[in-house]
Structure formats: C-alpha cells, structure tokens
C-alpha cells in the first residue's frame, strides 16, 4: 500500500479527482467503483467542476456503487441512488444505463446480491475502486468479523455504524438495519483502489489498517494484500500512524 499524505480534505479530494480524470480521459471504456458518505463529496465536486470547464466525457464509463441501504426507495433522499445523482451523475454526461447501484428494494435481496456480483465479474473487477474507511475499519459495509472471501451480500448493520450514519437521518430509528454491499473479495478484484480518509475520527482506523495483522477484526487490513492500493489521507487522519512510525 502506498500512503499519500495531504494537508486537508480539499487536497485529498483534488488528488483523487485528478487520478479519476486521468483514467477517464485515457480509456476508451472504463469501470469505476464509487463510494458514498461525506468523504468523497469533495472529489465529486472536483469532477463536476472539471466537466463544466473541460467537458471530460463519461459516456464510455460504467459505474458500480459499493453499497445501498435495504428498504429505501431510489428517490429517498438518504438512499445511495439519490446521493449519487445528487452529488455527481446529474452534472456529468454519464448515460443512466451505465450506472449500477444495488437495488435495496429488490423482492429477493439474496438474488440481487448474486446478480450484482455477476455484473462486476463480467468486467473482471472494476478498473478503479474508490473507498472510504469506517471508524471501526470497515470498507463498504463489511463490518469487523466479515469473512475475507465474502462476495456481494446482504448484511445487518452494526449499531456503531448506524449511529455514525444517523447524522444523515431525522432520527436514529429511521436508519436502515440492513444493506447490500460489495464483499471484501469483490473489492479485491478491483485493478486499482484509492482509499480516502480525513479527520481525527479516522485516525485509529488508519493506524490499525497499516499496523494490525491482516484479518477480519479490521477489514481494511486486507487491502495490504492488494498490489495496487493508494491511501490518500490528511494530516489528522494519519496522526496516530505517524506517531507510531516516529516513536
């Protein structure tokens, strides 16, 4: 794993957007794995600004989102479908038919997970996967204890993850209990991975990702087994790791 230290979230977002734009511009067909939450918003803002100014086209790009809540309609303001259109897709020229997001309203959720995994297998893993990291070390919604060979699956969200995500809802009771997520093995199929982290709340997770034994106690540690991972983190997110390295 390569660590790129930046000063702040804006530099993190700009660095990541430049890499995505480079891949988009140099490819005739490209598959992107995309993440949601607060961390990648700045990256998407840079991509939109670039599209407005330079007209970088996304008509040849296919996207695959990491996850989706179970039980939220695509039109729900807190669904990840809504998030992606609100933060990116409405402002670039990607065709809707190229957008892939798990269907959290599927009548057969297990089959939806199998079908979504098959879509990613069809492209032999996404070309570039964007990740965040949870405070407990989760990637996607793969919580501690998730088997490292798990494909796309339906899972129950931990109370800690629901509490962190409650800030996006009117109250805690509205936070869904389940989600569909790419599995750890699905993420590892990606040809290139960029993981973003900013703020003191992610410092412990970044420290554990680099120093803890690879295993399901901290799912992000498995990224050390991948040959092409870049971690882009700001000064606050790497504070505990740097203290460990220089003590």
List active site positions.
67, 136, 138, 143
**What sign results for the dihedral spanned by CA atoms 86, 62, 110, 193?**
negative
CA 131 to chain centre: 3
Which residue in this structure is represented by tokens 């796309």? 152
In 10 A of CB 167, how many CB atoms? 9
d(C-alpha 148, C-alpha 25), whole Å: 33
Angle, helices 41-54 vs 9-26, to 10°: value is: 50
Contacts of residues 142-147 at CB distance under 8 Å and 24 or more positions apart, as own/partner, are 142/181, 142/183, 142/184, 142/187, 142/219, 143/219, 144/216, 144/217, 144/218, 144/219, 145/216, 145/217, 146/183, 146/184, 146/216, 146/219, 147/184, 147/216
Q: Please, which residues bridge with residue 69 across strands?
A: 179
Nearest alpha carbon to residue 63 among 42, 104, 92: 92
* φ, ψ (nearest 5 deg) of residue 228: -145, 75
Q: Rounded CA gap, 236 and 230, in Å? A: 17
């Amino acid at each position: 794993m390569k660590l790129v230290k930046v000063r702040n979230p804006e530099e993190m977002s700009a660095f990541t957007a430049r890499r995505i734009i480079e891949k988009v511009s140099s490819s005739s067909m490209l598959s992107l794995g995309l993440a949601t939450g607060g961390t990648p918003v700045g990256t998407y803002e840079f991509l939109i600004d670039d599209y407005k100014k330079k007209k970088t086209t996304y008509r040849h790009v296919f996207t695959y989102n990491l996850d989706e809540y179970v039980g939220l309609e695509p039109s729900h303001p807190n669904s990840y479908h809504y998030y992606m259109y609100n933060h990116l897709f409405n402002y670039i020229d990607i065709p809707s038919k190229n957008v892939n997001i798990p269907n959290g309203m599927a009548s057969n959720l297990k089959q939806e997970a199998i079908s979504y995994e098959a879509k990613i297998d069809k492209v032999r893993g996404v070309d570039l996967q964007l990740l965040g990291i949870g405070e407990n070390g989760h990637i996607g919604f793969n919580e501690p204890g998730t088997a490292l060979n798990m494909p796309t699956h339906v899972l129950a969200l931990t109370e800690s993850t629901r509490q962190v995500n409650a800030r996006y809802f009117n109250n805690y009771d509205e936070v869904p209990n389940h989600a569909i997520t790419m599995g750890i093995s699905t993420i590892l199929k990606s040809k290139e991975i960029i993981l973003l982290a900013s703020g003191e709340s992610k410092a412990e997770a970044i420290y554990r990702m680099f120093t803890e034994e690879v295993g399901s106690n901290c799912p992000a540690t498995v990224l050390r087994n991948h040959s092409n991972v870049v971690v882009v983190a700001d000064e606050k997110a790497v504070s505990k790791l740097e203290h460990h390295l220089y003590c």
